[in-house]
């Protein structure tokens, strides 16, 4: 049983889940099926991943109220009416009546319509079509603007985060505003994080896989990681990150890796 965190509007979100980028419909269907079998209860997709149909096929076999389903919408829907249309299209592709969490995928500040998108999400939550609402890849300045202009803070902000990209100041900002931090690429994809001696040493001390140590660094600090895996054994490993604890010294040692690599995907707005 995966532990949950209560979001600011009251719903319970599993404290770890499955990411599905990049996976096509067939791969996503297979991975989600396996993940659900193994006890995953949070599945993360997006309009942009073009795999909601595959994810939806796998979801059909699970009781709807037992799975926390997240999606995200693209910049063309950054308006009140657009958010509604984006919700309807995602729900249709996924074959669900409601979403547990819907996120604005990127702030797209050059377009400067994310406040309108946010107003659309607030309306969707009021209508009960979406249980929780949030953002992805928003910086504190973007979040502050949502709060200033609507009085409503996102429940979740999903950002690229791992020990090599620790975002301590952003996490602190989230915490101050009751925003749960969700981590994409929580294993530091593209940075050799899992081979780093500091990670290896802590993994050996706990007789755990390096990936589990990195995911524990996140979960122990209240961050919700959504690692992607298409492999049954690694899927299983990635969920077994609540039955051991890192020491404060180990957490701090991992945090010193912050800034030692530049995540490759950070500027890639077509991906995550
Ligand atoms: P695979 O699908 O073969 O398991 P992220 O979610 O941080 O972007 O990382 C995803 C990548 O990390 C995928 O390539 C995935 O490959 C791999 N991966 C997932 N879980 C683990 C793990 N526990 N140990 C090592 N690699 C992993």
Q: Is 230 in the pocket of ligand 1 (CB under 6 A)?
A: yes
Q: Is 187 in the pocket of ligand 1 (CB under 6 A)?
A: yes
- Kindly report the length of the chain: 272
CA of 112 to the centre of ligand 1 (A): 34
Q: Is 213 in the pocket of ligand 1 (CB under 6 A)?
A: no
What pLDDT does residue 264 have? 59
CA of 187 to the centre of ligand 1 (A): 7
| Cα–Cα distances in angstroms (integers) from residue 271 to residues 24, 50, 54, 253, in the given order | 13, 11, 18, 30
What pLDDT does residue 271 have? 60
Tokens 């609402």 belong to 133
Cβ contacts of residue 137 below 8 Å, gap of 6+?
Answer: 105, 106, 107, 158, 159, 160, 272
Mutational pocket test of ligand 1: of 227, 236, 261, 266, the residue with most ligand atoms within 8 Å of the beta carbon = 227
- Please state, in angstroms and rounded to a whole number, the distance separating the CA atoms of residues 207 and 194: 15
Q: Is 142 in the pocket of ligand 1 (CB under 6 A)?
A: no
What pLDDT does residue 266 have? 47
What pLDDT does residue 262 have? 74
Mutational pocket test of ligand 1: of 229, 232, 264, 272, the residue with most ligand atoms within 8 Å of the beta carbon = 229
Ligand 1 atom closest to residue 19's alpha carbon, by position in its atom list: 6
Ligand 1 atom closest to residue 227's alpha carbon, by position in its atom list: 6
CA of 231 to the centre of ligand 1 (A): 8
What pLDDT does residue 268 have? 47
Helix (H, G, I), strand (E, B) or coil at 136: strand
Spot the catalytic one: 40, 49, 98, 114.
49
Ligand 1 atom closest to residue 21's alpha carbon, by position in its atom list: 8
For 182, the enclosing helix (H) or strand (E) is: strand 180-184
Instruction: Give the ipTM.
Output: 0.95
Please give the model's pTM, rounded to 2 decimal places.
Answer: 0.96
* 49 among known catalytic residues: yes
Burial class (CB in 10 A: 0-12, 13-18, 19+), 115: middle
CA of 183 to the centre of ligand 1 (A): 14
Domains in the chain, CATH or no CATH each = 4-188+222-228 (3.20.20.100)
* Contact status, residue 238 vs residue 211, Cβ threshold 8 Å: yes
- The pLDDT profile of the chain, 272 residues, written as one tens digit per residue, is 899 999 999 999 999 999 999 999 999 999 999 999 999 999 999 999 999 999 999 999 899 999 999 999 999 999 999 999 999 999 999 999 999 999 999 999 999 999 999 999 999 999 999 999 999 999 999 999 999 999 999 999 999 999 999 999 999 999 999 999 999 999 999 999 999 999 999 999 999 999 999 999 999 999 999 999 999 999 999 999 999 999 999 999 999 999 998 765 544 444 67
* Residue 105 marked ligand-binding: yes
Which residue's alpha carbon is nearest to atom 2 within ligand 1? 229
Cβ contacts of residue 87 below 8 Å, gap of 6+?
Answer: 73, 99, 102, 124, 129, 130
Q: How far is CA 204 from the centre of its chain?
A: 28
- Please state, in angstroms and rounded to a whole number, the distance separating the CA atoms of residues 173 and 160: 15
What pLDDT does residue 261 have? 84
Q: Name the β-bridge partners of 42.
A: 68
Ligand 1 atom closest to residue 210's alpha carbon, by position in its atom list: 24
CA of 248 to the centre of ligand 1 (A): 26
């Amino acid at each position: 049983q995966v532990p949950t965190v209560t979001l600011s509007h009251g719903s319970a979100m599993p404290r770890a889940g499955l990411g599905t980028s990049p996976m096509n419909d067939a791969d996503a269907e297979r991975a989600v099926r396996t993940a659900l079998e193994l006890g995953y209860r949070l599945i993360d997709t997006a309009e942009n991943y073009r795999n909601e149909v595959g994810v939806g096929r796998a979801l059909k076999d699970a009781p709807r109220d037992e799975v926390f389903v997240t999606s995200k919408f693209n910049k063309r829907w950054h308006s009140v009416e657009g958010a509604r249309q984006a919700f309807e299209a995602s729900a249709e592709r996924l074959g669900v009546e409601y979403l547990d969490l819907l996120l604005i995928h990127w702030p797209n500040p050059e377009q400067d319509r994310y406040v309108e998108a946010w107003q659309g999400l607030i309306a969707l939550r009021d209508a009960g079509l979406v249980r929780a609402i949030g953002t992805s890849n928003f910086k504190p300045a973007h979040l502050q603007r949502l709060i200033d202009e609507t009085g409503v803070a996102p429940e979740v902000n999903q950002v690229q985060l791992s020990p090599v990209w620790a975002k301590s100041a952003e996490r602190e900002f989230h915490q101050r505003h009751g925003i749960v931090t969700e981590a994409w690429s929580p294993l530091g994809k593209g940075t050799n994080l899992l081979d780093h001696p500091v990670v290896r040493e802590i993994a050996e001390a706990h007789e755990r896989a390096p990936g589990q140590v990195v995911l524990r660094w996140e979960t122990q600090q209240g961050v919700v990681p959504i690692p992607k895996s298409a492999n049954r054994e690694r899927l299983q490993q990635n969920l077994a990150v609540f039955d051991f604890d890192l020491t404060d010294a180990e957490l701090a040692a991992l945090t010193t890796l912050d800034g030692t690599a530049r995540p490759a995907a950070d500027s890639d707005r077509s991906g995550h």
